[in-house]
Amino acid sequence: MQKYDLIVIGGGIVGIATAYKWQLTNPNSRVVVLEKEGALARHQTGRNSGVIHSGIYYKPGSLKAKTCFDGYAQLVEFAKEHNVAHDICGKVIVATDESELPQIDAILQKGKENGLDGLKILGPDEIREVEPEVNGVKAIFVPQTGIIDYVDFTNKMAARITNIQKDSAILKGFNVVRIRNKPSGTTIVKSERGEFEAPIVIACGGLESDRLAKLDGVDAGMKIVPFRGDYYDLTPQGQHKVKNLIYPVPNPEFPFLGVHFTRMIHGGVECGPNAVFSFKREGYDKTSFSIKDSFDALTYGGTWKLFKTHWKHGMGEYERAFSKAKFLQALQKLIPGLTDSDITPARAGVRAQALSNDGKLVDDFVIQKGNGAIHVLNAPSPAATASLAIADEILNRIGTNYNE
């Protein structure tokens, strides 16, 4: 049994940010991070769009709005100080027809309420000055949005933890299978390679977060449903058609932002991701399938309620997943001059999206206490941007004055 002051389960950006913030405020205490993969950031964190979100979309007063705004500042400061490649290049959110104008106004209003300065409304000619290939009737230019290397960011935070305290540890290849609280108030976390004990345990398991919570007796009335996002790359011939980041007006019924164009920090431009119900949580091919994950999702009433309400939208997403022509059509809404040879199929990511028993996609971040651990139960986008502020939020809930 190895004893620590804090155990963090999950070595994605949220787990590592939490361990890092703890270590920063409690330099003498010993932290262990247990990650089941052989490297950090293998799932959502290493497969996202690499965008630093400004916070414009989120409901004012929500945890997403608060932590995105605050996390943005902390993220950029850390990136500057520790040499993480990033670029605050700005983005445009583009309405391509009149029916989207009320949504543009609503997003602008939210952005202002969330404290963003310098937002600009662009007309068709001004849009073309920023993004010459884009066809739009009205757009918002968001100067705060940027791009970053989130894997490097996560690894650099992890390195700081063991620099601050040499007896802390980031253990890879440690799959957690059991969480048990002792009457003395400490918690035992069992991994396939040994047991660990600490007075405080924080679980940040991403796509596995509901299962970790269940191990700890939490019934949160929600389950993780995986939504795969496929990307295409712009081919070298198509790359000049995008300068920075181009986003559509999102469908307000979903927490996803719609297929967009993203210049990547290490070069190239990605298009996507779509949002397709996935039959495997950590499966990155179009045909990935897991009996356990599919059984879990398809025996859950919430999934069927979601299907019933949004079947038409879901079918559209499936069509786009299997048809390059349909995917291209969605992209051509923003850039009509994009051609079939401008795009080529690329990687995929899977979002961990909590779905409530009544079939609603849970919009805000959810952090909940179990018997022996605190669980991050819903941390979809913009949780990478917000990670350091989510860490503060978690640590505030347990009190940061913990000392040896």
Ligand X SMILES: Cc1cc2nc3c(=O)[nH]c(=O)nc-3n(C[C@H](O)[C@H](O)[C@H](O)COP(=O)(O)OP(=O)(O)OC[C@H]3O[C@@H](n4cnc5c(N)ncnc54)[C@H](O)[C@@H]3O)c2cc1C
Write down the least CB distance from residue 334 to ligand X, Å: 17
Helix axes of 150-164 and 63-81: crossing angle, nearest 10 degrees:
70
Q: Are the CB atoms for 79 and 129 separated by under 8 Å?
A: no
Asked if 71 interacts with ligand X (CB under 6 A), we say no
Asked if 48 interacts with ligand X (CB under 6 A), we say yes
Strand, helix or coil for residue 376 = strand
Q: Which is nearer to ligand X, 164 or 346 (CB)?
A: 346
Write down the least CB distance from residue 212 to ligand X, Å: 6
x/- track of binding to ligand X for residues 295-334 (CB under 6 A): ----------------------------------------
Strand, helix or coil for residue 35 = strand
Asked if 370 interacts with ligand X (CB under 6 A), we say no
What the block records as the tokens of 380 is: 């979809």
Looking at residue 360, the DSSP 8-state letter turns out to be: P
Q: Which is nearer to ligand X, 122 or 383 (CB)?
A: 383
Write down the least CB distance from residue 153 to ligand X, Å: 11
Residue 139: CB atoms within 10 Å: 26
Binding-site member from 175, 288, 332, 356 for ligand X (CB under 6 A): 175
Asked if 45 interacts with ligand X (CB under 6 A), we say yes
Asked if 93 interacts with ligand X (CB under 6 A), we say no
The candidate with the shortest Cα–Cα distance to 383, out of 95, 24, 10, is 10
Asked if 21 interacts with ligand X (CB under 6 A), we say no
Q: Are the CB atoms for 130 and 183 separated by under 8 Å?
A: no
Asked if 206 interacts with ligand X (CB under 6 A), we say yes
Asked if 35 interacts with ligand X (CB under 6 A), we say yes
C-alpha–C-alpha distance, residues 346 and 373, integer Å? 38
Residue 25: CB atoms within 10 Å: 14
Asked if 351 interacts with ligand X (CB under 6 A), we say yes
Question: Using CB under 6 A, which of the segments 91-99, 113-121, 232-240, 349-357 binds ligand X?
Answer: 349-357
**Sheet strands side by side (includes 187-191):** 2-3, 194-198, 187-191, 176-181
Strand, helix or coil for residue 7 = strand
What the block records as the tokens of 116 is: 């963003």
Asked if 198 interacts with ligand X (CB under 6 A), we say no
Question: Using CB under 6 A, which of the segments 78-86, 204-212, 237-245, 333-341 binds ligand X?
Answer: 204-212
* Interface residues toward ligand X, by CB under 6 A: 9-15, 34-37, 42-45, 47-51, 53, 175-176, 204-208, 212, 229, 273, 349-351, 379-385
